Structures are given as C-alpha cells and as structure tokens.
Amino acid sequence: MMRSLLQTAVAVLTATTLAGRADAKLYGYTANEGENTVSVIDTDTNTEVRKITVGSRPLRLTVSPDGKRLYVTNSSSGTLSVIDVETHAVIATIPVGQSPQEVTVRPDGLEVWVSNQGTDTISIIDPVTLTVIETITRPSSPGSFVFTPDSRWAYLKYSTGFDVMDVATRTVVNSIEMGASPRRMTITRDGRHVYGSDYTAGKVAIVDTETQSLITILTTAPGARGCDESPNGQWVYSTSTLSKSVGAIDNVNATLSGMINVGTTPWSTAFTLDSAFAYVCNAGDNTVSIIDTATRQVVKTIGVGRGSFWWAITPDGSRLYLTNPPDGTVSVISTATQSVIATIPVGRACWKIVLVDGPEVTPPAAPDIASVAPVTITRNAVTQLTVHGSGFVQGCSTSISPANRGTRITATQFIDSQTLVLTISTTATARRGAYSLTVRNVDGQTDTLADAFAVQ
C-alpha cells in the first residue's frame, strides 16, 4: 500500500464520520485471498463476527477518507468490491483490469485508483457513480503508488522505477529509475518525502515532493521490501527480507543511521504512538522483533503466527493487529506488555488488515436447521442438498457425521439466511445409512439435525 503503515492505520481510524456516534465501535477487516471473503473482527472481544463474500482472490483493501466504504481488489476476478461499512453489504462490483493489486483513495476522496498488473493499467473510479471513468496505460508491472496530501501529485511504481504524475492532467513530469525490482512505496505524513525500495539492489530512494526530484539513494541491504515511518517523523525503517535486517533511516537528514539485525524475512514495521518502539514482523521465522528506537537495539522477540505480513494499530496505541496469512489468523499484541494477548481465526491467506470505526454489528442468531431435501441420495454420485432453516450467515461451515471418506461435502453455498445449498459427493463404497448435518456460523454457534439425510 501507499501511505506509511502507521499513517494508513491512523487515517482509517480518525477520518471516519461515525466516530461520534453512540453506537460506533472499532472493527478490523481482513481480505482473505484463500476463501474470497472479508472478515469482520470485533476488537472489543477480539473475535470474528461476520464474513462478507467478495470476488475471487481478494488481495488488498483500503477505506475511504470518510470511513464509510471499503474497497477490495479481487485479483482473479478482475474486479473491485465496494463494501458499505454500516451494512457490511457489497454495494457494487466494478470491473477493472486483469489482476488488480493495489487500491488507494485519493486523500481528497474524489477518485479511487486501482493498479492492474495483468493489463499494465490503472483504473480510475468515481466514488459517487462507482464506475471506471478513465484507464491509464502504464509501463510494465504497475503496483504500489502514493499521493501527496493535497492530491496534486501521484508517484507510480513500474518495473524499474517510478513516475511522478500530475493528477489533474495525468501528465508524467519526472521518472526516477530504481533498478530491476522496485517494491512498496511510502509517503511521509507531512508529504515532504517519498520512499521507494529496490529489492535486488538493496537500495532506498528518497524524493523531495516539492521539487519532484531525487534527494539521494541509500544502500541498505539486499531484499529491500518497503519503508514505514515513525509517528514523530524522525525515523523511516526499511525492511530487508534477504538480509534479516532493518535499516534505520533518519528522515530529517535523509541519511542511514544504521542496520539492525532482526529475524528471518522481515516484512513490515509498526511503531508505538510515542515512537519509542518499533515492531518488525519476521515472516520467515514467525516472530516479531521489538526495537528500542533510541538505542536501535532489539529488546524483545515474541512468537506470532506463520508468515506474518501486515499491521494495524488501535487509535489509543494499546494494541497492534498483525495478519498471519498461512494460518488464516490475526495476532493481537499489547504494546503495554509487549506480548500476544489473542489470536483470532479469520480466513485463509488473510493479507491486509484495516481498522475502522463503524456502527455496532448485531451478532447473528444461532443457526437452526429445519429440513434437508432430498432426504435420500445414492452411492457413486454428486448430489445437491438444499438446507432450509434460519440464522445462516455468509462464511458458515457444514459437516456431516459419522465422518466417512466415501461421503463428503465438497461445497457449501450460502443463498440467504434461510437457505444453504450443499454439494455432496459419494463413492461406490460410501457408507450406507443416515447422516447428521451440522451448520457452524463464524461466531461459533452451531446447530445439528440428526438423520438429516441417508445414503442408499
């Protein structure tokens, strides 16, 4: 994503117009690539309370400046899902280019930009009409991009560097070559500097946004992945995934103060609100390195889930939320105790997380299975069963008992709160007799119907 990690989290949390409402509370949202959903997390209870079905392979998500909408890129569908934060409903599915990756709303809220790697384009969307109003052709592999706070300039990554574009005229005014493999871009919160990393060369470019010119290129270490800024603006930490290290860059003087050894495959950095500590997630060894920013020393290492990837921080700075994509979980870290206080199951391959103030989500009713049709199925067949009842939710799961490899549920389709459609596959040697059916909602509530159907 484009803005610094902490800047994105704070902007999400403070910009929302719902914050003053009596029923507003803080929710987390993860895009789950492995199951085509977005999970909704209640940060009071640290539990998943809802799943929202989106397109195929959702990768990234971001929130509008007013906090009312979420935008989710669906890389296999070539679409952008738009979610209403108040209703948790998908209100639009917008065709964009092939393999959309990053999505960002301009700081002034007037446009939504999506980078499409499969077609080397950027789709520009009107947030009012929710339609694509312009498509910009880019050099190969468009990816990360950032805007200046006034929305006047955009910095657009491509395969060997990044361009500076006048947003109003869509004119490129400068191009800065980085190397063979530029990665994530970051703009500082004051809008003065843009940071771009080159993975292969292990370098970080710093650009002055007033002059649109290169200030310097710093050599950090191979595997430079991305940069994140401390809240006080003093530090920018650059993770180097191939070198087990983080570069501490003095943002004021645009110099490298030193390299800090951390864990394997450091991916991204979050800072405490007082900038005293930096938390670096190490995807390769499932740890977080906690760094004292004054001494630039690792003071603690804690275990988290596998392949940790992305952070979000609560407005009061008391908790950090970290995605663990291979596990399909989110680790919750207390900044007071510097320890994991909860692990939240969400969805498979949960890459990005944002925190948003929204109206309180009413917990769904418990599922209640009334009937199943047909009530008998045959061996060596694929049959669709319709389940009628109430209290079903998107993302609910189903299972049968007794477990038998010859009789399997191969798909569960959510139709509405009263209807599910199951695909049952049976082999020629499937166990004959009655099977019970269990429906489990994402909040853990279940219902079981004994002798729901039989295999003849």
CB–CB of 38/29 below 8 Å? yes
pLDDT band at 182 (very low <50, low <70, confident <90, very high): confident
% of the chain residues with pLDDT over 70: 94
Per CATH, the number for 5-359 is 2.130.10.10
pLDDT, residue 354, reads 96
pLDDT, residue 140, reads 75
DSSP state of 298: E
The mean pLDDT of the chain is 91
Cα separation, 408 vs 412, whole angstroms: 11
Lowest mean pLDDT among 114-123, 134-143, 337-346, 369-378: 134-143
The answer on pLDDT for 14 being more than 60 is no
% of the chain residues with pLDDT over 90: 79
Q: For 368-455, give the CATH class.
A: mainly beta
The answer on pLDDT for 175 being more than 60 is yes
User: Under 8 Å CB-to-CB from 15, ≥6 apart: which residues?
Assistant: 63, 65, 66, 67
DSSP-assigned letters across all residues of 211-248:
TTEEEEEEE--SSEEEEEE-TTSSEEEEEETTTTEEEE
* CA neighbor of 288 nearest in space, from 258, 246, 248: 246
Span 337-365, average pLDDT: 90
Q: Is 316 exposed, middle or buried (0-12, 13-18, 19+ CB in 10 A)?
A: exposed
pLDDT, residue 176, reads 86
For the four alpha carbons of 5, 8, 11 and 14, in that order, the dihedral sign comes to negative
The answer on pLDDT for 365 being more than 90 is no
The answer on pLDDT for 19 being more than 50 is no
Amino acid letter, 406: G
Q: What's the pLDDT tens digit per position in 28-42?
A: 999 999 999 999 999
Q: What's the pLDDT tens digit per position in 302-328?
A: 999 999 999 999 999 999 999 999 999
Span 21-33, average pLDDT: 83
The answer on pLDDT for 284 being more than 90 is yes
CB-facing half-sphere around the CA of 258: CA atoms within 13 A: 9
Cα separation, 171 vs 127, whole angstroms: 22
Beta bridge partners of 426: 381, 407
Omega before 182 within 30 of 0, i.e. cis: no
Cα separation, 285 vs 293, whole angstroms: 22
pLDDT, residue 8, reads 39
pLDDT, residue 89, reads 86
Q: What's the pLDDT tens digit per position in 51-106?
A: 898 999 999 999 999 999 999 999 999 999 999 998 888 999 999 999 999 999 99
pLDDT band at 1 (very low <50, low <70, confident <90, very high): very low
pLDDT, residue 419, reads 96
pLDDT, residue 364, reads 65
The answer on pLDDT for 281 being more than 50 is yes
Helix (H) or strand (E) holding 5: helix 5-15
Q: Tell me how many degrees the CA angle 289-220-116 measures, rounded to the nearest 5.
A: 85
Cα separation, 50 vs 53, whole angstroms: 10
Span 213-223, average pLDDT: 94
pLDDT, residue 65, reads 92
Cα separation, 61 vs 70, whole angstroms: 7
pLDDT band at 393 (very low <50, low <70, confident <90, very high): confident
Amino acid letter, 143: G
For the four alpha carbons of 270, 40, 357 and 87, in that order, the dihedral sign comes to positive
pLDDT, residue 363, reads 65
pLDDT, residue 369, reads 96
The answer on pLDDT for 445 being more than 50 is yes
- Structural domain spans, the chain: 5-359, 368-455
pLDDT, residue 23, reads 56
The answer on pLDDT for 10 being more than 50 is no
